[in-house]
Structure 1
Amino acid sequence: MVGSPDFLTGKGQDQAPEFQELESPEGELHLRFYVASGNEFALPATGIKEVLSPSPDRITPIPNVSPLLLGTLNVRGQVIWVADLGQFLGDSNPLNTDRPEIPVIAVEDQDMMLGLAVDRIVGMAWLDIDEVDAPSNVPDSMAPFLRGEWVIEDKSDKYLRLLDQIAILRSARWAA
């Protein structure tokens, strides 16, 4: 097959006769995800170090720390704290840790890294920053960590909220 002239020239039965142009994405790349309460959020891809799916037994609980913290996780020799993002934002529903894997979004700013445990990751999406509205109808516990929100599919009660990972990382709430 490799020696076939069709392989070397890129011509074959399943090849399109002409190049297809890819559409340029609009906006900026974001990671979309849900917390335990069912609220959907997004984080800018540029602020995410990596996305992990460790089993719950890899997260080591630490006594006498904030109840928002699930414990620590060793990521290739670096120990990072893992927090329940939903509870941090004021949700009363704790994250279900009785499952095979817990999605964790590692965010970083300068030398600080934190793992944000979430309920479900939707995936990556190009979102237009120019269409972000000021947050409305948000709890006071969540407001300092939001950059804005998008209305989803013209439903006035469904929002995709844009988080500020640096505000989350630097919050005094972790000391509580």
Structure 2
Amino acid sequence: MVASSDFLKGRGPGQVPAFQGSDEGMGNPEGELHLRFYVPSGTEFALHAVGIKEVISLAPDRITPIPNVSPLLLGTLNLRGQVIWVADLGQFLGDTTVLNTDRNEIPVVAVQDQDIILGLAVDRIVGMHWLDLDELQIATNVPDNILPFLRGEWVLNAETGEHLRLLDQAAIIRSARWAA
């Protein structure tokens, strides 16, 4: 797992600061801990930290392509002796922008629901932030193909319409889309 205190505080090159509900020193958190990240289209999402098994960055050659599977799946990864599937989360959610795998490292968020673990490849990790679930709203202006995988959204800036959408990792893992 990532042990950098900069990662946990959401600090680092190219990372955006947390919005309301985050705590600068993480000593007095408000809300619950979430991982914020971007998919290739530039859309920002969050996942509840409770369902995250691990966050890793790995070389693309560590993902073994498997023929004749869903095009959403990049392949498999050996995670400490356990083979897990790795998927392009952006494509799963209906993005037309494909994840760039021609780079040094690909961020993968390993999510777990009961006994199933799935690696979700994303474009960029923002960091861990405390977010208040009481401020979570029903997602609006969301494509129908994403709606089943959302728990809601936080409005970051009402004037610009900027929002942060919370994904439901259990719904993603259990989706029938993987069979397609």
1:151 and 2:158 are equivalent in the alignment: no
Separation in structure 1 between the aligned mates of residue 161 and residue 52 of structure 2, nearest angstrom = 28
Alignment of 1:26-175 (within 5 A): 26-175=30-179
Instruction: Please report how far the alpha carbon of residue 167 of structure 1 lies from its aligned counterpart in structure 2 after TM superposition.
Output: 0.2
Of stretches 145-154 and 118-127 in structure 1, the one that deviates more from structure 2 is 145-154
Deviation at 1:129, TM superposition (A): 0.2
Structure 1, residues 63-95: CA drift from partner, whole Å, max 9, x if none? 000000000001111100000000000101000
Q: Quick one: distance in 2 between partners of 1:37 and 1:22?
A: 30
Measured after TM superposition, the shift of residue 22 of structure 1 is 7.5
Gaps of at least 5 residues in structure 2 are: 1-24
Normalising by structure 2, we get a TM-score of: 0.84
SS in 1 for 2:157: coil
Give the gaps of 5 or more residues in structure 1.
1-20
Aligned residues: 156
Report how far residue 152 of structure 1 moved: 1.2
The separation in 1 between residues aligned to 2:92 and 2:55, in whole angstroms, is: 19
In the TM superposition, what whole-angstrom CA distance separates every residue of 1:49-75 from its partner, at most 9, and x where no partner exists? 000111000000000000000000011
* C-alpha separation in 2, matches of 1:22 and 1:69: 35
TM-superposition CA deviations, 1:28-61 (whole Å, max 9, x none)? 0000000000000000000000001110000000
- Structure 1 residues 116 and 22: alpha-carbon distance in aligned structure 2, compared to 1, 3 A threshold: closer
**Helix, strand or coil: the match of 2:104?**
coil
Identity of aligned residues (%): 74
3-state secondary structure, aligned to 1:137: coil
CA distance in 2, matches of 1:23, 1:118: 28
Q: TM-score, normalised by structure 1?
A: 0.86
The ranges of structure 1 where at least 4 consecutive aligned residues each deviate by more than 4 angstroms after the TM superposition are none
**Is contact 2:157–2:163 with CA below 8 Å preserved after alignment?**
no
Cα distance in 2, alignment partners of residues 155 and 126 from structure 1:
23
Between Structure 1 and Structure 2, whose CA radius of gyration is higher?
A: 1
